[in-house]
Amino acid sequence: MQFNLKILSVAISMAIVPSLAVADEAADAKIAKLEQQVQTLQAQQNASLADKVKFNGFISGAYISSDNDAGYNNADSSANFSEDSKLGLQGTFNISDNTQAVLQLMMRGKYDWEVEAEWAYLSHRFDNGVKIRGGKLRVPLFMYSDYLDVGYAQPFARPPQEVYGTIPFSSYTGAGVSYDVEYDDSTLTMQAFGGESDVKNSAVELSNLMGANVSWTDEIWTLRAVYAQAKLDGPIVSEVTVPLAAGVNTQANYTVLELNDEKGSFVGVGASYDNGEVIAITEWTRSEIDNAYPDTDSGYLTLGYRIKEFTPYATVAYMKTQDNDERLPLSTATAIQMVAFNAERMAYSIGLRWDAIDNVAVKFDVTYAEDFGDTSGGFTGNSIDTSTGKFTYDDTLIYTVKFDAVF
């Protein structure tokens, strides 16, 4: 009986061992399958996240200098590597197919690389094509407003300062709405915007900012018109050069004008042509502010021609205050009034854009500004001799070497 029990136990063990082995193999297969499923889910989740979040950026590095200290684009006779150098990082999060959150951080050399949010907004496109945005947005006054800091998207070394330098702010906090009308071979875009803003490094604030623009493009031609207005409040302070004695000057901040909810308006028209070889761009603007602040007309024309990776270009631009004789005297210091407000000049630029490698462009530019009339040319560095009534400089020459890249 004992012998039979031993045989039975051995037989049972022999039968169980293969079963256990089969069970282990089945368990291992299930585990491997589960691990594969988890990896697939993780890959799908990562792919979904990558589709939802996109990061890009741009960078510019520039050297500028001038033959004198008039101050065109803040250039002087020494080397300046900060004025046109900047770095931008942008993140876009697709909350849904029609809703996005956008954040753009900017660092500029001229502001000691201080980090600031240039864009920070939510946008949503409705099924009928209407798009709304709210938050901190770019003020859409110029043809290159959306790409104002993205030098790679511009043919020139910098947008002509005679036009783009007349408005001392570039973003606003508020909302905007736009709608595209699609034709067979072209698109008409209508946009309205409103909010408030301020002038960096100034106490001037803008309220009740509102405006609208309309643009039409067929990918070769682009036509654009814009109107905007706002209330301005705060002191306008100008740094002026005050002569103390013969050959001895000092810099002083002078409150030239106190704005008290003055109405300001801006109107602009522009057009561009780009067939892949020939480039032609032009804009004209007028800015007006009630009472003593000057009304300014400005415009430019740029022509260029692409020769493989090289694009030589030439620009002629002008700006002029229109009401020099109509403004009320600001003080007995007529010289300070002239330095701060009265301005006119012509500027001529020749340059070359070299698309050296993918997403990187190197630019060379020489700009000559003259015809200041009886004004400083709009340059705070161009001081006046109160004994003679003449300004130090009647022209200026600016050299620029720059690289622009996107990533």
| pLDDT tens across the length of the chain (407 residues) | 444 555 555 555 555 555 555 556 666 777 777 777 777 666 666 656 678 899 999 999 999 999 999 999 999 999 999 999 999 999 999 999 999 999 999 999 999 999 999 999 999 999 999 999 999 999 999 999 999 999 999 999 999 999 999 999 999 999 999 999 999 999 999 999 999 999 988 899 999 999 999 999 998 999 999 999 999 999 988 766 666 666 677 777 777 788 999 999 999 999 999 999 999 999 999 999 987 788 999 999 999 999 999 999 999 999 999 987 776 555 555 555 556 688 999 999 999 999 999 999 999 999 999 999 988 999 988 887 777 778 899 999 999 999 999 99
**Token duo for residue 102:** 């956008």
pLDDT of residue 384: 79
pLDDT of residue 244: 65
Residue 157 makes CB contacts below 8 A (sequence gap 6+) with 62, 84, 151, 349, 351, 363, 364, 365, 400, 402
pLDDT of residue 22: 54
pLDDT of residue 14: 57
Q: What angle do CA 70, 74, 77 make, to 5 degrees?
A: 55
pLDDT of residue 269: 98
**Token duo for residue 120:** 């920070």
Q: 377: which DSSP letter?
A: T
CA distances in angstroms from 289 to 4, 232, 255, 380, 381, listed in the order given: 114, 8, 17, 20, 24
Helices (H), 53-135: none
Domain boundaries along the sequence of the chain: 55-406
55-406, what's its fold? Porin (2.40.160)
pLDDT in tens, 361-373: 999 999 999 999 9
pLDDT in tens, 275-330: 999 999 999 999 999 877 889 999 999 999 999 999 999 999 999 999 877 765 55
Residue 78 makes CB contacts below 8 A (sequence gap 6+) with 65
| pTM of the full structure | 0.84
pLDDT of residue 17: 53
CA distances in angstroms from 306 to 111, 274, 303, listed in the order given: 34, 10, 10
Distance separating alpha carbons of residues 135 and 342, to the nearest angstrom: 36
pLDDT of residue 1: 46
CA distances in angstroms from 291 to 55, 198, 258, 298, 332, listed in the order given: 46, 20, 11, 20, 17
